[in-house]
């Protein structure tokens, strides 16, 4: 007569794996030979161990449900019940399962969800220096996975639904129980039919093929804040790829590629430019129209300005972008003055320069060595406005 394995564990015939495992753990703690070494308890512990082995194996459990006994060798069942055992003591795998909840330390993980989070997406945009300074709104065309409108991410054709996988009985994995000299060893692998989800789609959606998402080209508007720079990324939450099974979308990142400017050079929040200045203007002083991001303004050149002088225009640089996306002040514009010395002079210009040199006492080379060039002593390298 076949044993009542359900009755041995004290569970109903509809019990799931979780109920069977909990019942086994409870009885294993009570009946383990290390706790109760008498012979009767050892025999009962062996029955409990065999019942757990049978009811957690899909094939053996089917035999039990059909009225058979997979461990009854006299009727051609599934083999002996003992395996390697010494006086009824279970192996290491049984002890691990009883006290730590994992047979052979490889407990089942259960089915994984068909709904998985989506990946992030990345696109690049080209911006001018002026657009980086003022900020700009751009409409971008992106090609990503979006939610399938026909099945709404479920994957099944409308009017149908998913079903429990017959191969793994909805567990999402297939277990293989082997016995060794240290006891039973349970290994598990993802079910190849349902791919670990525990369910199958008999009638996949004709639009997405059961994936719950489709590729689509759409337009999104990105607001680029003032102060962005080359290589910076702007994050648009939940605008990336929709995940398998209609899972939550990842993020969309917009990477800025700043175009080279024809006049300004950027260094963080500061801007640099070079202005050519005739030597006479540097000596006598003058005013020049100076180009800035906002337009032109007057630049004053003091008399006696030396070569390589840098003038700083405060607050005429780039907006300082904070981590919050807001701006906090602006950088500076540094104007580098390149004093130009003429390389060709006519006779009149030469005569005038010789006269000037004579008046300044610079007509003799040995005197010129003690002076700092044509315009007297060199001033400090930079001035600020």
In CATH terms, is domain 5-105 a member of 1.10.287.110? yes
The answer to whether the 5-105 and 121-158+206-258 domains have the same CATH topology is no
Each of the 385 residues of the chain gets a pLDDT tens digit; together they read: 568 888 898 988 888 888 888 888 888 877 766 666 677 777 888 888 888 888 988 888 878 877 778 786 554 444 433 333 333 334 444 444 444 444 333 445 668 888 999 999 999 999 999 999 999 999 999 999 999 999 999 999 999 999 999 999 998 998 887 776 666 777 888 899 998 999 999 999 999 999 999 999 999 999 999 999 999 999 999 999 999 999 999 999 999 999 999 999 999 999 999 999 999 999 999 999 999 999 999 999 999 999 999 999 999 999 998 765 566 789 999 999 999 998 899 999 999 989 988 888 876 555 444 444 444 444 445 566 6
Instruction: Give backbone dihedrals phi and psi of 176, rounded to 5 degrees, phi first.
Output: -125, 120
132 is in an annotated binding site: no
pTM of the model: 0.61
Domain ranges of the chain: 5-105, 121-158+206-258, 265-384
Measuring CA to CA, how many Å separate 87 from each of 39, 43, 59? 9, 9, 28
194 is in an annotated binding site: yes
> pLDDT at position 44, please?
85
208 is in an annotated binding site: yes
Options 2.40.160.60, 3.40.50.300, 2.60.260.20, 3.20.20.60; which CATH number does 121-158+206-258 get?
A: 2.60.260.20
Helix axes 17-31, 39-55, angle to 10 degrees: 170
DSSP 204: B
Options 3.30.70.3270, 3.40.50.10190, 2.60.40.10, 2.60.260.20; which CATH number does 265-384 get?
A: 2.60.260.20
Instruction: Give backbone dihedrals phi and psi of 321, rounded to 5 degrees, phi first.
Output: -85, 125
Report the distance separating Cα 215 and Cα 241, nearest Å. 9
């Amino acid at each position: 007569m076949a044993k009542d394995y359900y009755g041995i564990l004290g569970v109903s015939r509809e019990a799931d794996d979780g109920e069977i495992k909990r019942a086994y753990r409870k009885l294993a703690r009570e009946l383990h030979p290390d706790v109760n070494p008498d012979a009767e308890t050892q025999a009962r512990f062996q029955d409990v161990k065999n019942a757990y082995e049978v009811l957690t194996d899909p094939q053996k459990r089917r035999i039990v449900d059909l009225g058979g006994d997979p461990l009854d060798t006299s009727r051609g069942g599934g083999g002996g019940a003992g395996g390697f055992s010494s006086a009824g003591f279970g192996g290491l795998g049984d002890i691990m399962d009883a006290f730590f909840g994992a047979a052979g330390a490889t407990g089942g993980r259960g089915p994984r969800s068909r709904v998985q989070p989506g990946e992030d997406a990345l696109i690049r945009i080209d911006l001018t220096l002026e657009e980086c300074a003022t900020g700009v709104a751009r409409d971008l065309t992106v090609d990503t996975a979006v939610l399938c409108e026909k099945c709404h991410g479920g994957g099944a054709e409308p009017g149908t639904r998913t079903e429990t996988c017959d191969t793994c009985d909805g567990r999402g994995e297939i277990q293989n129980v082997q016995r060794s000299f240290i006891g039973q060893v349970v290994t598990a692998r993802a079910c190849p039919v349902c791919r670990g989800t525990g369910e199958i789609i008999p009638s996949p959606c004709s639009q997405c093929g059961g994936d719950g998402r489709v590729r689509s080209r759409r337009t999104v508007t990105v607001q680029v804040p003032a102060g962005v720079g080359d290589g910076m990324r702007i994050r648009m939450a939940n605008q990336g790829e929709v995940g398998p099974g209609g899972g939550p979308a990842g993020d969309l990142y917009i990477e800025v590629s700043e175009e080279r400017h024809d006049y300004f050079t950027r260094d963080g929040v500061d801007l640099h430019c070079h202005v050519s200045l005739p030597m006479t203007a540097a000596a006598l002083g003058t005013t020049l129209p100076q180009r800035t991001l906002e337009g032109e303004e007057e630049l004053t050149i003091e008399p006696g300005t030396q070569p390589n002088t840098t003038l700083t225009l405060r607050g005429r640089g780039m907006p300082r972008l904070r981590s919050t996306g807001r701006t906090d002040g602006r950088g500076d514009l540094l104007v580098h003055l390149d004093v130009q010395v003429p390389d060709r002079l006519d006779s009149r210009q030469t005569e005038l320069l010789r006269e000037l040199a004579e008046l300044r006492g610079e007509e003799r080379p040995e005197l010129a060595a003690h002076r700092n060039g044509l315009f007297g002593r060199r001033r400090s390298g930079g001035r600020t406005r």
